[in-house]
Structure 1
Amino acid sequence: MNRLRSLFLVAFALPVVSVAQIRLDPGLMQAGLEAISASTLTNTQVVDYSKQAIREMDAKNPIAPASDPYAQRLARIVARHKTVSGLPINYKVYKVPDVNAFATADGSVRVFKGLMDIMTDNELLAIMGHEIGHVINKDSRDAMKSALRRSAVRNAVASQSGSLGQLSRSQLGGLADQMLGASFSRKQETEADDYGYSFLKQNGYSVMALATSFEKLAKLSGGGGGKVTAILSSHPDSQARAKRVRDRAKRDGLAR
């Protein structure tokens, strides 16, 4: 269970310049893990963990005050979307140069200054729609359940003697676990993309902003990696995501 003590960043951040990391208080996390399992974990419990995680992140990062131009810009962009599907959304800007954004299960959305510097207002809205999609889809709960299941299997196998136990304890065991997690997360990312597209469409925004935001991310990351990188990535290739949005927009008659 050791890796789960450092699991709960909201692993739904953008895969470009950096991925913010959160470490929960080990005592609280251990107590929680002793009380829950993959089958009993509730969204309420995940929300509670999320609240602690976001408090720690907010304490460790410079937050733009309400008077700051970045905070004012974000407030203007999301003014119509303070509540989504009955869930209050709490937006803040981190005044750091990283190109990133993430969401937590309690409805907190954090946008990094570096991301705001390269995106238009509509592109930021598209990314907000994507992040809100993670919250509405309860991806934090599902990711935590998946991690608990994988950890339980690995711990059981690693406790055995012989070659199978040795393999699980080896780097190959860690690699297989990473690939399982990446596959699960890619599915979540695609579903959040779909939510973001619908969010833009239903609110009268251009869906093409989602495509152009992905194209900017692809350019920053060098256009994506090779086959092995794609397999291990927790996010789908940004250029492929942009193409998927453009193809859907054409089918919907929203683009040529």
Structure 2
Amino acid sequence: MKKRIIVLGTLLAILSFTKTNAQILSDKTMGALGKGISGFTFSDADAAALAKQSIAELDANNPVADPKDGYSIRLNRLFGKHTTSEGVTLNYKVYLVKDINAFACADGSVRVFAGLMDIMDDNQLLAVIGHEIGHVVNHDTRDAIKAAYKKEALLDAASSQSGKVETLTQSQLGQIGSAMIDSKHSRKQESEADNFSYDFMKRNGYDVNAVESAFRILQNLSEGSEASFMAKMMSSHPDSGKRADAAKKKATKEGLYHAYEQQKIVNTAPVTATKKTSTTTKKTSTVKKK
């Protein structure tokens, strides 16, 4: 499979949804949509409910690494102690695909692609996923879903039932899914997520210079054979080189900067040694009575 580079950022894809209908938002919320209220209520719970159903569908239609797989073992080793952040409950899985990507959803689901784990060491991976967690904690994922709903509005469906819709059809989910795939976080949101990543690394005692290093890797990729694809995907994101420079500047200001050297990358499961059982023959001696 040809390696394809996907922009690091939160993507919520609702693809090939098999259920004909799905309860997503409350009648109150959908009624507001039907009336065309621009500032309709869209709570964290609404966003999490939609994300939970979406990520379940994505997991069902992607090759998820088994818990005993080397990729899963590595990810759990790194993030097993980071199951909550700023009150958000997180869960992690690996997609066994060559794409270079990681994304997070409003329900706290974080998905990491094997292709990313192949090119980044532990600290760099911590920096990238810390960035994704930042999007969840900063409510960027909720706002992205809300923007998709406001754009699609579902006005026709809502209006057909006097502004009260209880279910979403497969077609409607597909429209929102397409809108979510096309949506991108603002440069400000990306910068704030970068800062969250840096602070996440510092707060947990990791090497903050891995943040700069991770962006340098993306910068080098964008200047290589995949440059045109990266340029298209990164059009609404800050330049990777500038983001690396910002991380370096922050580390230098705090007296923490040093040139980061990438560590060994291991995505294989540890080999379990099998114990050899040796059979010993017990010798018995017979003592003759005199």
TM-score by length of 1: 0.73
The structure having more radius of gyration, on CA atoms, is 2
Q: What residue is the counterpart of 1:64 in the other structure?
A: 65
**Stretch moving more, 70-79 or 35-44:** 35-44
Is the CA contact (8 Å cut-off) linking 1:230 and 1:237 kept in structure 2? no
Q: Is the 8 A contact 1:211 1:246 kept in 2?
A: yes
Corresponding residue for residue 14 of structure 2 = 22
1:58-207 paired onto structure 2 within 5 Å: 58-150=59-151, 182=184, 184-207=185-208
Cα gap change, 1:108 to 1:244, in 2 (>3 Å): same
Establish whether residue 244 from structure 1 lines up as the match of residue 227 from structure 2: no
1:169 aligns with: none
Q: Matched residues in 2 for 1:80 and 1:30: separation?
A: 31
- Paired position in structure 2 for 1:164: none
Instruction: Check conservation: 1:123, 1:210, Cα contact below 8 A.
Output: yes
Deviation of 1:127 (Å): 1.0
Cα 1:232–1:246 shift into 2, 3 Å = closer
Unaligned runs of 5+ in 1: 1-12, 156-176
Bigger relative CO (Cα 8 Å, ≥ 6 apart): 2
- What does the per-residue CA deviation read over 1:11-40, in whole Å, with 9 as the maximum and x for residues that have no partner? xx9517xx7843356744897784454431
Task: Give the whole-Å Cα distance in 2 for the aligned partners of 1:20 and 1:42.
Answer: 17
For 2:7, the aligned partner's letter is P
Match of 1:233, as an amino acid? S
Count of residue pairs brought into register by the alignment: 215
Identity in percent: 45
Task: Provide Cα deviations, 1:190-245, integer angstroms capped at 9, x if missing partner.
Answer: 1111111110011111111111111111111227979xx58972322111111111
- Aligned residues of 1:14 and 1:102 also touching (Cα < 8 A): no
Q: Residue 141 of structure 1 aligns to a residue in which SS?
A: helix
Calculate the aligned-residue CA RMSD, in Å: 3.2
Q: Which residue of 2 aligns with 1:44?
A: 45
Tell whether the 8 Å contact from 2:64 to 2:96 is kept in structure 1 after alignment.
yes
Q: Give the whole-Å Cα distance in 2 for the aligned partners of 1:146 and 1:113.
A: 30
Q: Is the 8 A contact 2:132 2:193 kept in 1?
A: yes
Name structure 2 gaps, 5 residues minimum: 34-38, 157-178, 259-290
Larger proportion of helix: 1
TM-score (norm 2): 0.65
Residue 13 of structure 2 contacts residue 54 of structure 2 at CA under 8 Å; is this kept in 1?
no
Shift in Å, 1:253: 1.3
C-alpha contact 2:24 2:49 (8 A) present in aligned 1: no
Q: Runs of 4+ in structure 1 displaced over 6 angstroms?
A: 29-33, 223-226
Q: 1:95: how far off?
A: 0.6
